[in-house]
């Protein structure tokens, strides 16, 4: 019985820290009206159905401010995620978001239902701020209304 309890305790201690949601309400803009453009133009005769229905949009100079006051002095990883259910879309594969930053956070991309690491290291500031350039790739076949979603920022400390 002791061996079993020891193994269970060891298994619990080896589990990764649970992610906690970060408050991003200090960010300057919470909603965007985007102009959609066809990703491929010109000779559409050579495009497959996916390419023919590919839309793209950009949001430049998006200032993201994350409240990390509770984690100052700790080591951690910060993630950006998209919810699996995107309002206005019939399929979670209809949207992919990528971004470039000014350097505090890492550039990357994510699809609905997933997350990507944007920071790893010591949390040194109560509010971590960076400017993002967001690019959205959208499958027009799966969109039936205005797309509405909120990216989620999470932190895991170690």
pTM of the model: 0.84
CA distance 108 to 22: 19
Say if CB 76 and CB 134 are below 8 A apart: no
Give me 130's structure tokens: 């960076």
pLDDT tens-digit series, residues 97-140:
999 999 999 999 999 999 999 999 999 999 999 999 999 999 99
Which of helix, strand or coil describes residue 32? coil
Residue-wise pLDDT tens digits, 57-67 = 999 999 999 99
C-alpha torsion angle, residues 106, 114, 36, 94 (rounded to 10): 150
Q: Which of 93, 101, 95, 135 is nearest to 118 (CA)?
A: 101
């Amino acid at each position: 019985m002791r061996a079993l309890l020891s193994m269970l305790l060891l298994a619990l201690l080896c589990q990764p820290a649970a992610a906690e949601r970060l408050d991003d309400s200090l960010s300057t803009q919470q909603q965007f009206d985007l102009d959609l453009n066809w990703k491929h133009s010109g000779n559409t005769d050579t495009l497959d159905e996916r390419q023919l229905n590919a839309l793209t949009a950009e949001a430049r100079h998006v200032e993201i401010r994350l409240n990390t006051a509770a984690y100052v002095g700790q080591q951690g990883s910060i993630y950006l995620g998209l919810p699996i259910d995107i309002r206005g879309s019939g399929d979670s594969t209809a949207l992919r978001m990528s971004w470039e930053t000014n350097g505090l956070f890492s550039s990357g991309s994510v699809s609905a239902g997933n997350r990507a690491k944007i920071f790893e290291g010591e949390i040194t500031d109560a509010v971590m701020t960076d400017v993002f350039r967001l690019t959205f790739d959208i499958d027009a076949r799966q969109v039936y209304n205005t797309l509405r979603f909120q990216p989620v920022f999470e932190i895991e400390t170690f």
